[in-house]
Chain A
Amino acid sequence: MNEIVPTVASAEIARPAGWRGFVADWSSDQKAFRNVSWGKAMMWVFLLSDTFIFGSFLIGYMTVRMSTVVPWPNPSEVFALEIAGHHLPLILIAIMTFVLISSSGTMAMAVNFGYRRDRRKTAILMLATALLGATFVGMQAFEWSKLIAEGVRPWGNPWGAEQFGASFFMITGFHGTHVTIGVIFLLIIARKVWRGDFDRERRGFFTSRKGNYEIVEITGLYWHFVDLVWVFIFALFYLW
């Protein structure tokens, strides 16, 4: 009754074909996603949930924009700058978008060097990412103060529907908060990389678990997500 059957490697188990095979494979032993660590899986699930938050914000904004009877201010005009005598619509937003997308590039490089255990380059690239992110937030602060100086408030503005200011401050504010949290997150992890925590398997201050270089990639997932969300905000708020 109590004899233990010897175990064999999972490769020897034949999987049924078709949908049943797909389900059997996905629902098989221990892990649904074979090579995905707990931390990475958790970040993905969190991002899925966060997608619904940003989705609700954007759908809410689009609903009020469509249901309001007052004309919506023209974003190309509102977000235009006069530079050296030229009237350039959306120029600041274009630069911000460029900066944020570039930061995704440096982040991807940081992940690469992290897995090569190149502490110096990883930390420098993460700092560069954080710097670009901080620049983005700085430009957003400039944009906010310019609009506030022109009289845009969450409860009204000189050009039309008052939901314009409300949606603008709420959505860019919520996204900017995400970027700021990302910058802080990047700085903390960059410090750990620099100090060599992941080479010496130093234990975390709060969780007392050993860290490893995968955290760089997990940070990267969050960062790319924030970047991707910006693309949707850019398209749906500024270009519409």
Chain B
Amino acid sequence: MVDVMHGTPEPLSAAETDDVELYHPKSWVTKYVFSQDAKIIAIQYATVALAIGLVALVLSWLMRLQLGFPGVFSFIDPDRYYQLITMHGMIMVVYLLTALFLGGFGNYLIPLMLGARDMVFPYVNMLSFWIYFLAVLVLVTGFFLPGGPTGAGWTLYPPQAILSNTPGQQWGIIVMLVSLILFIIGFTMGGLNYVVTVLQGRARGMTLMRMPLTIWGIFTATVMALLAFPALFVGAVMMLLDRLIGTSFFMPAIVAMGERLAYKGGSPILFQHLFWFFGHPEVYIVALPAFGIVSDLISTHARKNIFGYRMMVWALVAIGALSFVVWAHHMYVSGMHPSFGFFFATTTLIIAIPTAIKVYNWVLTLWRGDIHFTVPMLFALGFIVTFVNGGLTGLFLGNVVVDVPLSDTMFVVAHFHMVMGVAPILVIFGAIYHWYPKVTGHMLDDRLGKLHFWVTFLGAYLIFFPMHYIGLMGVPRRYHEIGEMAFVPPSAATLNEFITVVALIVGAAQLVFLFNLIWSIRRGRPAGGNPWRATTLEWQTPQTPPAHGNWGKTLPVVYRWAYDYSVPGAAEDFLPQNQPPTPRTG
């Protein structure tokens, strides 16, 4: 591909757009609170997402305490346990991962990596954050309302979600649905900004095929989110109507607690379709930004150009497109026509192809690279291993005959935690260690970072490998307490205790990370503008942290792709994207 290679200078096109006028804040409030600067909005998004993520972490501790030591913690009754499951799942998937990858990293990196001054509509971008914040507040009110948060499971399946014996039926389910609707509205405002900025707001010379893969990942995920969240929006509106004014979209005629309810004729399966039409793309909405970020981390820290850039881009797009036609593999146990099962199993397994292309390309990028075991690199390598592990069990579960017996066991819990829990979160950590110096101007502490990595990475394996095993033994998921079952040997209980202890240790290791984050803001080693000697534009800003408007007086001009590492004959071992080509000398 001539366009991205170093070598012959390609003539540069004339600027197609004028430089933009920025809104200049006049007070502290408009600068730091109701800020229209994408970088501040990114930090706001990330802070709120990490804060609510900590709540989810504590919820998972409580769940593990109950599973590891059933009966010891009397305040965790079955109702409470379901509430813990529901809130942990929903917070992690939507309010932490989606918000942090797209709202956090998207806002920070898109304008900087593309050489733009800001998002295209900063005001709408600001609204996006505040509506997200409101959604989080509404979600949290669930903990304090009578009856507590909903305990319907994070999938909120009807009819259970609105039946009177489900915990949180009184208020919890209402605030959950309202919060999701708000989240989607807020996300749409931000998402429109990300998409239009990528399509229409790039620097001169930054063609789509020169964009760093981070941007490709965030861009594809945002497009998917804009098309997938509508199904959840509609499902949430319909369920809210069912709950509040007694429509029967999802509610069949049903007897609950010996009483015949007024509902009749609704289709619970319809909700499952709407939910998973959102839910499956959602898996890739959190995975694709991780794919993109990992590609850049590996290339930078192995000082080698990414292998097969063009295929990496097409694989991202293909995964994004395919993920819209696989949703019913989450519904095998709901019962479906065998032909549909065959169709969805086939499409599910086809996704393995572009995903495998990506994994091969990461490995081939590392092949004979100059690998620096920095903290971001450790997390990136950890991601590849974890993702492959979780992905392989996905190949099992994609088949109907394997999924049906395993679906309600801990095996599935272990699978999705490996592939879309631990793997993207490792990338989030890696990305924070990588870009923190740009955000604050100081490095995060290396030794604490390595401690954090090893405890988290090894701990994740110690938690989830045994969980696959007890799942295969038949230990069911979603059970408050399994009690004595003939087919479950007593050793399963011992393993559960082990998992709980490790989970507490891994959780505690996150406090080291938090301490590192706060401590290094002022006391970290000064980073300079480009501590990783990376090529992408965000490292070439005139100030660190970048000032309002990012680029000073003149916008950068891009001459090359993002992966010119270890270039033979270059003065340093990398060429920044905005470095003009050397004219040929005789």
Residues of A within 8 A of B (CB): 1-5, 7-10, 12-13, 23-24, 26-34, 36-39, 41-42, 45-46, 48-50, 52-53, 55-57, 60, 63-64, 67-70, 154-155, 161-163, 165-166, 170, 174, 206-210
Contact = CB atoms under 8 A, between A and B. Distances in A.
A33 B13 CA distance: 15
Nearest to B583: A3
B173 to A, nearest CB: 18
Contact of A60 (B21, B238, B248): B238
Nearest to A46: B192
Interface in B175-191: 188, 191
29 contacts: A3-B580, A5-B11, A8-B12, A8-B13, A10-B16, A13-B13, A23-B209, A24-B3, A30-B200, A30-B204, A31-B199, A32-B200, A36-B200, A42-B193, A56-B235, A57-B234, A60-B270, A60-B274, A63-B267, A63-B270, A64-B249, A70-B265, A155-B262, A162-B248, A163-B249, A163-B265, A165-B247, A166-B247, A166-B249
**B contact residues, range:** 35 or more
Contact of B196 (A4, A42, A161): A42
B11 A8 contact: yes
B257 interface: no
A41 B202 CA distance: 14
Interface stretch (B62-70, B101-109, B225-233): B225-233
Interface in B1-40: 3, 9-17, 21, 23
Interface in B410-443: none
Contact of B9 (A5, A38, A45, A155): A5
Nearest to A209: B21
Contact of A207 (B3, B123, B208, B580): B123
A59 to B, nearest CB: 9
Contacts of A36: 200
A165 B266 CA distance: 13
Contacts of B209: 23-24, 27
B207 A27 contact: yes
A7 B229 CA distance: 43
Contacts, number: 178
B274 A56 contact: yes
A207 B123 CA distance: 6
A7 B208 contact: no
B264 interface: yes
Interface of B: 3, 9-17, 21, 23, 120-123, 188, 191-193, 195-196, 199-209, 226-231, 233-235, 237-238, 241, 245-249, 262, 264-267, 270, 273-274, 277, 559, 571, 580-583
Given A56-B231, A63-B267, 14 more contacts: A5-B12, A10-B14, A13-B13, A27-B207, A29-B13, A38-B121, A45-B192, A48-B227, A49-B188, A52-B230, A56-B235, A155-B246, A155-B248, A206-B123
A174 B578 CA distance: 48
A41 B200 contact: yes
Which 5 pairs show the lowest CB-CB distances between chains A and B? A27-B208, A10-B13, A166-B247, A52-B230, A56-B234
A117 to B, nearest CB: 21
Contact of B245 (A13, A27, A155): A155
From A39, A64, A67, residue with most partner B Cβ within 10 Å: A64
Contacts of B23: 207-209
A154 B241 contact: yes
A61 B387 CA distance: 39
Nearest to B120: A38
B554 to A, nearest CB: 12
B19 to A, nearest CB: 12
B248 A28 contact: no
B234 A29 contact: no
Contact of B241 (A23, A39, A45, A170): A170
A194 B247 CA distance: 45
A52 B582 CA distance: 49
B192 A31 contact: no
